[in-house]
Structure 1
């Protein structure tokens, strides 16, 4: 067998004829004649045919997607727009029917609030009514979103409103339960209005509805943002998906992370729009709010005693008023950290004021639940301190002073990324996220409907929800 010589090219060495090895030559093969190449005109025709066929396929696909009516009359191919999105890989939109509640449960409550404040008398034109600003305005934003013409609602919304209840996956009950609590409370003082009566009338109306009775309320969604909203009738509506700020006033068989959705308070502090940086944030720690609260909020008075004389710490007593909100806005926008102790229940509105202010929340509330925790890692935007540790004199301030400017800047950048999730009037903000959370409950809703119908009826002391709705994890936040 003959051998051949491998030669290095000139760029690999000074001698371009250096012998590096002897490589056996391949055996001789019989020469095979190659068929004649096709003519250029034949190749061109084949290419044109293939290109035309490909373009026709693309046209047919997009025409079927954007004009579903041209698809053959076959149930397999008659897709709604939502289903076409699913065909492309996105999940189908959940179909929501919103009840047209009697006026006394929606606009009538706004009228009572206005009259109690010395404003307008009841009117026929609801467009002249203005929903008052308060920390539980989520009920108004969700109601307004579903009242938009469907073509004006965001394509990114995970739900679609349907006008035929037979098509619905879920039923939304748009009662203004938090505003009702305000109107019936001591601050507004409408002597002619009773929140408790409203609650009872609402449930009596709801229990007469065909679609509530059909599935025992499991496929209904009810908002109760204020921890005391609907407190008189919560046992009668607990099967529904509840939109709540926390579980502070709910028993485990009434509310849980499995069944319900945690929603944020509506922020009352102006959103921070300046540059993201540490330089203009001179105050170490800021808090302005009610010093004296009940239950878990009793920690506030103790924190006041520990912190009010600390350098670089601003801690003030103040209630919700226009002047105090302006002062709080200034304080939060110029501070690195904002103190967020529990209120009467584990959550409080100042957490969300802090987030939109890019003031790093220092959360002292061992039983707090947080909105949208499936997509937000709160450890990147907040500092969690156990209550027992926070009450040690000097501990909290000393810990915060060890946080470097670089680390503070990292927190601020993360807050900037996620703050839109807590802004109700942001087109891709809180409302969309709440609907996304609600849509995720649909598989459980279907499970509970089927399970409820096949179970043998039990006595009233045995909760229907059983362990499916248990929220007793035994886990608390730690540093």
Structure 2
């Protein structure tokens, strides 16, 4: 009798647990069958033909789960006005409707693509992790669409020997930077959280240099941290942007038949700071038979030559410029030319998604300048291994295409969206601190006392 009683209790317990699990699974777990608007995207990890992981993208959920972004309606002097001045400085005529002006091409066009994306109808923003809201009270984040990188280059570079009177600048980037921050500091939503929930593009390493300390609480979209102090920029709060392309995108498939050059580089030979390694590499590599390394400035002819060189080379050299990164890395990726990165300190875009070791070769600066080392190491890489690199480059190519429907722009917004929990943490934490640290733009561990009544 005791055994039967024990058996009945065991079975009863088992059925209770089973029913509880079934109810929990039905009502509390997401179901892709019940809701067809939720899609599962299956992706294969790099260099794996057998393993698969299922990724549920945030943008596949209904609109309420997408991060809400409010686009500031800035005075036109900070947006289309910058384009107007750029045109005027190059002999263009004033136009009545500045919104009809075309944004000029340059390597920091990310600011234009992001602005244009938020200006499009929501029906065209397929797969975006963020949704634009028109009511700032609904917003999670506030986007500040100042064309800070274009603002830097509005005035053409003054030719040698030109008199200051003859070449007087028609536009002041510094004045515009100051005016922008003064405008922001008058805004209710900027003052509310000291700008922490604002997103600002400063893609060019010199963008916003005059006012960076006044906007450093914000999420900064930058190319690298080469010109920023540790209290101004951080991979924790900011987002790394890829450069936009000026070369012709390679539309061919993987393969080595048309890639006769071992290593290619075309760019400015003489740079400052960490970029001084370029001159050393020129001296070491320019006499190698299967290496093309030559000086080239920004011009239409140089871009054509760079396109041809990258499309017909196995490896593309990426030494540091004046700052650790440069546009050639991303040109190489979309050319399926394996990047050889010679830069000891470099931040790269989208590293939570992309394992760069599978698409690029990293060489320490001190090793790269040893005569004969670099070309010997590259020649030793088998054709099969180069093809593996190319396959991986082809997989991630879309992440570096601003013109792709689900390319760079959507990935940038995904990166920005992931900053939201940290932003909320910092905002709530700051409200209860007794003492505020003025220089704490990122994550601080001091001053943790709470406010009391």
Identify the TM-score tier after normalising by the shorter chain.
0.7 to 0.9
- Contact between 1:270 and 1:356, CA under 8 Å: does it hold in 2? no
Partners of 1:397 and 1:238 in 2: CA distance: 42
Superposed CA deviations along residues 6-27 of structure 1, whole A, max 9, x for unmatched, are xxxxxxxxxxxxxxxxxxxxxx
User: Contact (CA 8 Å) 2:232, 2:441: kept in 1 or not?
Assistant: no
Residue 259 of structure 2 contacts residue 314 of structure 2 at CA under 8 Å; is this kept in 1?
Answer: yes
State the match for 1:99 in structure 2: 72
Q: What is the aligned partner in structure 2 of residue 476 from structure 1?
A: none
Superposed CA offset, 1:330-380 (max 9, x none) = 000000000000010000010011111111000001111000010101111
Pairwise CA distance, 1:186? 2.3
Q: Specify whether residues 187 and 84 from structure 1 end up closer, same or farther in structure 2 by C-alpha distance, changes over 3 A only.
A: closer
Q: 1:450 matched to which residue of 2?
A: 428
- 1:108 counterpart = 2:81: yes
Q: 1:149-176 CA deviation, whole Å, 9 max, x = no partner?
A: 112211x110000000000000000000
CA gap of 1:426–1:147, structure 2 versus 1, over 3 A, is same
Aligned Cα root-mean-square deviation (Å): 2.3
Alpha-carbon offset, residue 62 of structure 1: 6.8
**Match for residue 151 of structure 2?**
180
Q: Quickly say closer, same or farther: Cα 1:458–1:442, change in 2 above 3 A.
A: closer
Partners of 1:246 and 1:262 within 8 A in 2: yes
* 1:298 is aligned to 2:270: no
**1:257 equivalent in alignment to 2:235:** yes
What is the deviation of 1:127? 4.0
Instruction: State the alpha-carbon separation in 2 of the partners of residues 307 and 133 from structure 1.
Output: 31
C-alpha distance in structure 1 between counterparts of 2:156 and 2:430, whole Å: 37
User: 2: distance between equivalents of 1:84 and 1:400?
Assistant: 41
2:17 equivalent in structure 1: none
Partner of 1:312: 290
- Quote the Cα distance in structure 1 between the aligned partners of 2:261 and 2:158: 33
Q: Greater Rg, structure 1 or structure 2?
A: 1
Contact preservation (8 Å) 2:89, 2:156: no
Q: Which residue does the alignment assign to 1:126?
A: 98
How many residue pairs get aligned? The number is 389
The answer as to whether partners of 1:225 and 1:244 remain within 8 angstroms in 2 is yes
**Aligned equivalents of 2:60 and 2:355: distance in 1?**
29
Tell me if structure 1 keeps the 8 A contact 2:430–2:436: no
Structure 1 unpaired stretches of 5+: 1-57, 66-81, 470-479
Using the alignment, how far apart are the partners of 2:440 and 2:37 within structure 1?
Answer: 49
Q: Secondary structure at the match of 1:280?
A: coil
| Residue matched to 1:39 | none
User: Once the 2 structures are TM-superposed, how far is the Cα of residue 98 of structure 1 from its aligned partner?
Assistant: 0.4
Q: Contact 1:258 / 1:468 at 8 angstroms: preserved in 2?
A: no
Gaps of 5+ in 2: 1-30, 39-56, 160-166, 447-453
Alignment of 1:414 onto 2:387: no
SS of the residue aligned with 1:183? Answer: coil
Residue aligning to 1:28:
none
